[in-house]
Amino acid sequence: MYALSMEYPSKKQTKLSLVLFIASASRSGSTLLDLLLGSHPQGVSTGEIRRLQGFVLQDKGLLALDDENYPLTCSCAKPLKECAFWMEVEKRFGASFKDTGFKTSQKRSWRSLLMAFYLATGPQGVRVLARAFSPVRKEVEIGLNCLRLHEAVSLVSGACFVVDSSKSVYHYMLLHCAAPKLMKLIVLVRDGRGVAHSMVRGTRAKKWQEGPLPPFLQASRQWARTTKSILMLSRRTKPSDKVLLRYEEICSKPLEVLNHMAQKWGLLPWEDSFWKELKERHIIGGSPSVRFEKLLDRLEPDNRWKHSLDKELLEGFEKIAGKLNRKLGYLS
Ligand SMILES: [Zn+2]
């Protein structure tokens, strides 16, 4: 564990100049966006870095996974302890992944208090509090651990930006407190009806069997809660350091969306050949159906919800999250 007194960046010869963090609700296309961003010759994808320790320990409890069949391998299909890329990253990182915390273990109520403090005082205020209050210091150290991991990834891959699709906006906050100047925030949104429909489909349906409302409406509530907290916490990031991307636009006009971002943050322009070529990838976490894709030659949005939701469910969604969905630009 690194001490908080150690400032970021460290003295290692790294080219790392940006960390692109994707904050989103689950089932919003974060893995697809991670792959598109990481296809850039200056960049590298890592997936959900906050899950790294759980992947190394093969610990589904630590990962809080509902899916018993979720694969705990790198996207190269090897377990992390046999993947040459992650073995080299661990060496450069300089500490065992097994013994290093990359995600919070604090309870939701405690996290809510820290988020309220961050909203009130910003990253500098949290850093001041961390000096006096050890539970907060431990949280900021998690952010520092992740940033040093990004640095090691950059050293091994030669990339100058690293993509972290950990999704959790609380986790983003920890990184932002650790190194505000390095972080770029990508708020990824998708039509809430599509998200909630995807959250209750297939094997994921089991999670929603209990409860007073139909599964789709329970999922709609969760989507609204997560999305509101992402929008709220993103207020503490300067407009020049954040973008809002829509999943549907990423699929329909990827170059326009990605190059708007490239221009904003001084990256070389994207070309669609970037993601149509085979590139070595070592991604953890995220959607298995996308993570193990070798080529992204078709970017078709998943619009199954448009033909699957009856009038009653759509009316229920409208009551729960209609206003929020419209605020994000989903009008009909
Ligand atoms: Zn690998």
Can you give the chain as a three-state secondary structure string? CCCCCCCCCCCCCCCCCEEEEEECCCCCCHHHHHHHHHCCCCEEEEECHHHHHHHHHCCHHHHCCCCCCCCCCCCCCCCHHHCHHHHHHHHHHCCCHHHCCCCCCCCHHHHHHHHHHHHHHHHHHHHHHHHHCHHHHHHHHHHHHHHHHHHHHHHHHCCCEEEEEEECHHHHHHHHHHCCCCEEEEEEECCHHHHHHHHCCHHHHHHHCCCCCCHHHHHHHHHHHHHHHHHHHHHHCCHHHEEEEEHHHHHHCHHHHHHHHHHHCCCCCCCCHHHHCCCCCCCECCCHHHHCCCCCCCCCCCCHHHHCCCHHHHHHHHHHHHHHHHHCCCCC
Query: Ligand 1 centre from 103 Cα, in Å?
Result: 21
Query: Ligand 1 centre from 182 Cα, in Å?
Result: 25
Residue 2 has pLDDT above 50, yes or no: no
Query: Ligand 1 centre from 203 Cα, in Å?
Result: 26
Query: Ligand 1 centre from 239 Cα, in Å?
Result: 35
Q: What is the mean pLDDT of the chain?
A: 89
User: Percent of the chain beyond pLDDT 70?
Assistant: 90
Q: Name residues with Cβ closer than 5 Å to ligand 1, which is an ion.
A: 74, 76, 83, 85, 282
Query: Ligand 1 centre from 246 Cα, in Å?
Result: 29
Query: Ligand 1 centre from 30 Cα, in Å?
Result: 19
Q: What is the per-residue pLDDT for 307?
A: 93
User: Percent of the chain beyond pLDDT 90?
Assistant: 72
Q: What is the per-residue pLDDT for 6?
A: 44
- The pTM assigned to this predicted structure is 0.92
Residue 278 has pLDDT above 90, yes or no: no
Mean pLDDT of the 83-99 span? 95
Residue 66 confidence class, pLDDT cut points 50, 70, 90 = low
Q: What is the per-residue pLDDT for 5?
A: 44
Give 199-208 pLDDT, tens digit per residue.
998 777 777 7
Residue 11 has pLDDT above 70, yes or no: no
Residue scoring higher pLDDT (301 or 129)? 129
**Tokens of residue 8, six digits:** 């970021």
Query: Ligand 1 centre from 87 Cα, in Å?
Result: 9
Interacting residues of 302 by C-beta distance below 8 A, sequence separation 6+: 194, 198
Cα distance between residue 17 and residue 329, in whole Å? 32
Residue 263 has pLDDT above 60, yes or no: yes
Contact 192, 317 (CB under 8 A): yes
Give 210-256 pLDDT, tens digit per residue.
878 899 999 999 999 999 999 999 999 999 999 999 999 999 999 99
Query: Ligand 1 centre from 318 Cα, in Å?
Result: 43
Residue 306 has pLDDT above 60, yes or no: yes
Q: What is the per-residue pLDDT for 261?
A: 95
Q: What is the per-residue pLDDT for 60?
A: 73
Contact 286, 232 (CB under 8 A): no
Q: What is the per-residue pLDDT for 238?
A: 96
Residue 149 has pLDDT above 90, yes or no: yes
Query: Ligand 1 centre from 280 Cα, in Å?
Result: 9
Domain 12-193+237-303 is of which CATH architecture?
A: 3-Layer(aba) Sandwich (3.40)
Residue 1 has pLDDT above 60, yes or no: no
Query: Ligand 1 centre from 45 Cα, in Å?
Result: 11
Query: Other CB atoms closer than 10 Å to residue 303's CB: what's the count?
Result: 13
Residue scoring higher pLDDT (204 or 259)? 259
Residue 33 confidence class, pLDDT cut points 50, 70, 90 = very high
Q: What is the per-residue pLDDT for 297?
A: 67
